[in-house]
Homo-oligomer: A and B are copies of this chain.
């Protein structure tokens, strides 16, 4: 199956000259979704990850089934929610100003092997922030994994110290 044919392109969104890649149409197709998750699994099963970490909630669409098949735990970063207890806050620079993300400190202990998973690799800013957060807490990043990679935006360069896996690439 050609997974690319399942990904809808939206021309000139969010601005002129950009063709948005809508992974949502692939996920709607049960067979394509299953193939995509299995394809990513084959490339990261040897990493023996203890935890799959999704920098964004939408990354759970890929990260959650991967964690399930790998037998790993699952966590996602989230915006500050005023939760009590042992929360680790992390500020990082995004394109337009600073952003704060939080995670339960118990999620990552020294030596925890973490696979960072998201639906899309573009500039790599969010994934790189997640990687730094893992290391700040003493965890070990065993790889980063994405369903789609836009190869011309420098994400793979930003993550060059880590094994970076993607299933569908666009020259972009």
Asked if A75 and B28 sit within 8 Å, CB to CB, the answer is yes
Q: Are A84 and B33 in contact (CB under 8 A)?
A: no
Asked if A75 and B27 sit within 8 Å, CB to CB, the answer is: yes
Query: Does A104 have its Cβ within 8 Å of any Cβ on chain B?
Result: yes
For the complex, what is the distance from the CA of A134 to the CA of B57, rounded to whole Å? 22
A 70-85 to B, binary, CB cutoff 8 A, 1 in contact else 0? 1111111000001111
Q: How far is the CB of A157 from chain B (nearest CB, A)?
A: 28
Interface residues of A in 78-104 (CB under 8 A from B): 82-85, 104
Contact A28 B65 (CB under 8 A): no
Kindly state whether residue A107 has any CB partner on chain B within 8 Å: yes
User: Separation in Å of the A13 CB from the closest CB of chain B?
Assistant: 6
Please give me the residue from chain B that is nearest to A32 by CB atom: B73
- Beta-carbon contacts under 8 Å, A43-80 to B: 50-51, 57-58, 60-62, 64-65, 67-76
